[in-house]
Amino acid sequence: MLSRVADSLYWMARYLERAEHSARVLSVKLEAMIDQTPEDAAEAWIRVVGALAWPMTVPPTGTPIEIARQLTLDKAHASSIMTSVRSARDNARQVRELISTEMWGQINKMHLKLSVHDIQQSWSAKPVPFLHEICDDLLLFAGITDSTMRHGEGWHFIQLGRYIERAQIVSRLLDLHFGTMPDDVPGDVKAPRYFEWVTLLKQCTAFEAYCKVYTADVKPAKIAEFLIFDSEFPHSIRFAVDRVQEELGHLGAGGSQARRVQAERLAGRLKASLDYGQVDELLEGDIDGFLRSIQTTCKQIHQATFDAFIGYSVDELLPG
C-alpha cells in the first residue's frame, strides 16, 4: 500500500475516534451537572478540559456551557470536535477511491452538519442532544466502515489508528482521576467523589458493562481494574492495546524491517504490562506513572509505525 494512503486512513481513524470520545465526555459531563453543586461541577470541568484540550497550550475558559461549546465548535481550537471531523474528512478525501461510497457519504454528512451557518443556534438550543447526535453519527460511520470496506490492509490501518488513539485518550482520562494532576493541567482538584466515578464510567460507555461484572458497587479500585485491565470491554486500555498489537501483525512489509520490528516490540511490551499487571500493586504504587507510560509508549508506537510504513525512503525498498 502507498504510504500516503496508509497515512490518510490511519489519521482519519484517529481524528474520528478523538471526536467521538470528546462528544461522549462532554455530553455526559453536561448531564451530570444537574446533580452536582456548582463547586463540584467546576472542579470536574478541570478534568474535562485536561482530558480534551490536550496538549493544553491555551485552555478553554468561561462557563461550563461555553467551554463545551469551544471544545465542540471552535474552528480555531486544535482539539475541538469540529476540527477533528474536518481533519478526518480531509484525510478521507485523499483516499476517496479506497473507501466505500457509504463511508464517504457518512463522513461528508457529518462535516456538512457541523458547517451549516446556524450551527451555533442549534448548539445553544439543545447542547446535550446535539452531542448525542454527533456520537451516533460517528458510531454509525464505524459500523459502515466495518460492513462496507474490504478488510484488507487499508482497513487494518484504520483499526490501528482507532485503537492507538483510544488507548491514549482513555489512559489520559484515567490519569486525571487517579492520583495527582498531570503537570500540564493548570490547578489541582480534590479526589473524585462517588458521583464523579459514575460519570467516569459513563464517559467510557462502561457503566452497564461494569455493573454486569461488579454489580453496582462503584469503587475506584474496581473501576481502575475494569477500565485498565478488562480484556473483553472495547473501551478498556488492555482491549485497545491488544488490538494495536494484532493490527500491526496484519500490515504489509513497509520499509525497514528493523523499524517494523521496533513497533511490534513496543506493542508487545505494552501488552505484557497489561496482561500481567495487578490493580492493587498500581494503586499502592505509582498508578500515575503507569498511565503516563502507556501514553508515552503509544506515542512511541505511533512514531515507529510512521517510520516503518509511512515515512521510509524509497531507497529502502530497492535491492542493495
Cell of 161: 489508528
pLDDT value at residue 313? 56
CB 201 within 8 A of CB 28: no
Indicate if the pLDDT at residue 20 is higher than 90: yes
Task: Write down the residue that cell numbers 480531509 correspond to.
Answer: 90
CB 294 within 8 A of CB 229: no
The alpha helices in the chain, defined as continuous H runs, are 3-32, 38-52, 64-73, 81-94, 101-115, 119-125, 127-148, 153-175, 194-203, 207-214, 220-229, 237-248, 257-275, 279-284, 287-309
Range with lowest mean pLDDT among 78-82, 262-266, 309-313: 309-313
Range with lowest mean pLDDT among 24-28, 100-104, 113-117, 232-236: 113-117
CB 52 within 8 A of CB 22: yes
pLDDT value at residue 255? 60
The number of residues making up the chain comes to 320
Task: Write down the residue that cell numbers 481513524 correspond to.
Answer: 13
Task: Give the pLDDT mean for 11-18.
Answer: 98
Which pairs count as long-range contacts for 96-105, CB under 8 Å and 24+ apart, including other chains?
A: 98/5, 98/9, 98/154, 99/9, 99/145, 99/149, 99/154, 100/144, 100/145, 100/148, 100/149, 101/148, 102/144, 102/148, 103/141, 103/144, 103/145, 103/148, 103/149
Cell of 4: 500516503
Integer Cα distance of 252 and 92 in angstroms: 21
Integer Cα distance of 132 and 114 in angstroms: 13
Neighbours of 27 (CB within 10 A): 23
Integer Cα distance of 304 and 298 in angstroms: 10
Task: Give the pLDDT mean for 96-118.
Answer: 94
Cell of 29: 459531563
Average model confidence (pLDDT) for the chain? 90
| Better pLDDT: 312 or 16 | 16
pLDDT value at residue 56? 58
| Better pLDDT: 179 or 69 | 69
Angle formed by the axes of helices 38-52 and 3-32, nearest 10°: 180
Local confidence band at 316 (pLDDT 50, 70, 90 cut-offs): low
pTM above 0.95, yes or no: no
Shortest CA distance to 241 belongs to which of 142, 304, 165, 303?
A: 165
pLDDT value at residue 253? 66
DSSP state of 314: G
CB 218 within 8 A of CB 194: yes
Local confidence band at 315 (pLDDT 50, 70, 90 cut-offs): low
CB 275 within 8 A of CB 230: no
Local confidence band at 238 (pLDDT 50, 70, 90 cut-offs): very high
> Phi/psi class of residue 260: alpha, beta or left (left: φ > 0; alpha: ψ in -120 to 50)?
alpha
